[in-house]
């Protein structure tokens, strides 16, 4: 498999680095698809950030939806989240690795481009991230009130249009 | 199987997502409580015994992080 960090161009390469920081900031050492999504939603990421904002997914909206997803998941087990002030963040060190959901997103994004016989674009990684039918990202989209299939369709149109990135 | 039940925000998915959320929360709680104990002067051996793991395991997992957090770990060789 192509090195995931460089598979979708320079902008996405930077986003992988930012996703590592997202994972660390949340106290973990595994980058999952939601960390990639948050990194790509950053305003500094021109292509993906503006595409996501066009569909109502600003970084703020995503951050809030991720928090609500965690609250909902814990509530199923009858548990309340730790108070924010008690959570130790940003102190885990050591290598950060790609988790299963992030690797699946990379594979799906690469497949989306290769099936259409065209170069990979940054937005292909978004297609890969939103291809998952189950897991944290589709839950976050549902909580944010975004239709995953409509979003995928719009992203596929964008990547097919060949808009310069 | 009824496909309509396989929804990302359905009851089964909530149950499975709670497993992830609890694991993440347990990791954070471990970080928090180990740091509290070490700040209060517990030894690595005492923390390890309380957690039911080896001293080496708890030191490997938390040593660097606690130094970065400014916890004074001198005279904690026991």
- Residues in A closer than 8 angstroms to B15, CB to CB, are 76
Provide mean pLDDT across the span A87-105.
77
- Chain B residues with CB under 8 Å of A138 CB are 8
pLDDT tens readout for residues A29-43: 789 999 999 999 987
Please name the member of B6, B9, B64 whose beta carbon is closest to the beta carbon of A139. Answer: B9
What is the average per-residue pLDDT within A58-63? 95
* Cross-chain residue pair A27–B28, CB shorter than 8 Å: yes
Q: Higher-confidence residue: A119 or A102?
A: A102
What would the pLDDT profile of B52-70 be if each residue is shown by its tens digit? Answer: 999 999 999 999 889 888 8
Nearest chain A residue to B29 by CA distance is A87
Q: What average pLDDT does the segment A127-150 reach?
A: 97
Q: Examine residue B77 and state whether it is found in any structural domain, yes or no.
A: no
Nearest residue of B to residue A75 by CA position? B18
- Option in A77, A136, A139 nearest B22 (CB): A77
CA-based nearest residue to A129, from A99, A154, A103, A153: A103
Measure the CA–CA gap between A32 and A53, rounded to whole angstroms: 21
B1 in a domain, yes or no? no
DSSP state string for A26-63:
TT-SEE-HHHHHHHHTSTT-HHHHHHHHHTT--HHHHH
Within chain B, where are the H helices?
11-39, 44-51, 55-68
Residue B30 located in a structural domain: yes
Task: Give the CA count within 13 Å in the CB-facing half-sphere of A34.
Answer: 22
Total number of domains in chain B = 1
Measure A54 CA to nearest chain B CA, in Å: 23
Tokens of residue A156, six digits: 């596929």
Integer Rg of chain B from CA: 18
Q: Closest partner residue to A76 among B14, B25, B27, by Cβ?
A: B14
Residue A115 is classified by DSSP as H
Cβ distance A122 to A20 under 8 Å?
Answer: no
The predicted structure's pLDDT at residue B77: 61
Residue B56, Cα to own-chain centre: how many angstroms?
Answer: 15
Search chain A and give the residue with CA nearest B22: A74
Straight-line distance from the first to the last Cα atom of chain B, in angstroms, rounded to the nearest whole number: 56
Residue ranges making up the domain that contains B23: 7-68
**pLDDT over threshold 90, residue A2:** no
B23 assigned to some structural domain? yes
Select from B21, B29, B65 the Cβ nearest to the Cβ of A73: B21
| Residue B74, in any domain of the structure | no
| Cβ-based contacts of A136 with chain B (< 8 Å) | 17, 20
What is the pLDDT of chain B when averaged over all its residues? 89
Mean per-residue pLDDT for A67-74?
96
The verdict on residue B35 lying in a domain is yes
**Residue of B46, B24, B35, B44 whose CA lies nearest to B68:** B35
Residue A89 has pLDDT above 60, yes or no: no
Of A10 and A142, the structure prediction assigns the larger pLDDT to A142
CB contact under 8 A, B20 and A73: yes
Rounded to a whole number of angstroms, the distance from the CA of A140 to the nearest CA of chain B is 9
On average, the pLDDT of chain A sits at 86
d(CA A120, CA A6): 11
Q: Which of A95, A100, A109, A99 is nearest to A6 (CA)?
A: A109
Please report the domains of chain A, with CATH numbers, ordered by start residue.
4-161 (1.10.1780.10)
B19: its two tokens: 């497993």
Q: B9 and A70 in contact by Cβ < 8 A?
A: no
pLDDT of residue B1: 57
Could you give the CA distance from residue A57 to residue A38 in angstroms, rounded to a whole number? 10
pLDDT at A148 exceeding the cut of 80:
yes
């Amino acid at each position: 498999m192509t090195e995931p960090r460089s598979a979708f161009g320079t902008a996405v390469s930077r986003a992988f680095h930012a996703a590592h920081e997202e994972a660390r900031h949340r106290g973990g050492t595994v980058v999952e698809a939601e960390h990639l999504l948050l990194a790509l939603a950053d305003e500094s990421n021109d292509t993906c950030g503006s595409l996501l904002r066009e569909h109502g997914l600003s970084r703020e909206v995503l951050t809030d939806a991720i928090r609500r997803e965690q609250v909902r998941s814990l509530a199923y087990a009858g548990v309340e989240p730790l108070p924010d002030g008690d959570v130790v963040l940003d102190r885990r060190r050591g290598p950060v690795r790609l988790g299963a959901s992030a690797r699946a997103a990379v594979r799906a994004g690469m497949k989306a481009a290769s099936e259409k016989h065209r170069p990979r674009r940054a937005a292909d990684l978004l297609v890969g991230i939103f291809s998952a039918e189950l897991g944290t990202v589709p839950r976050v989209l549902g909580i944010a009130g975004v239709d995953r299939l409509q979003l995928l369709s719009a992203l596929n149109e964008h990547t097919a249009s060949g808009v310069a990135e | 199987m009824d496909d309509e039940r396989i929804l990302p925000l359905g009851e089964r998915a909530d149950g499975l997502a709670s497993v992830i959320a609890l694991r993440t929360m347990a990791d954070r709680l471990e970080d928090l409580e180990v740091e509290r104990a070490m700040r209060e002067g517990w030894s690595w051996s005492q923390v390890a015994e309380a957690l039911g793991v080896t001293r080496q395991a708890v030191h490997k997992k938390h040593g660097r992080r606690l130094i970065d957090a400014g916890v004074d770990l001198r005279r904690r060789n026991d």
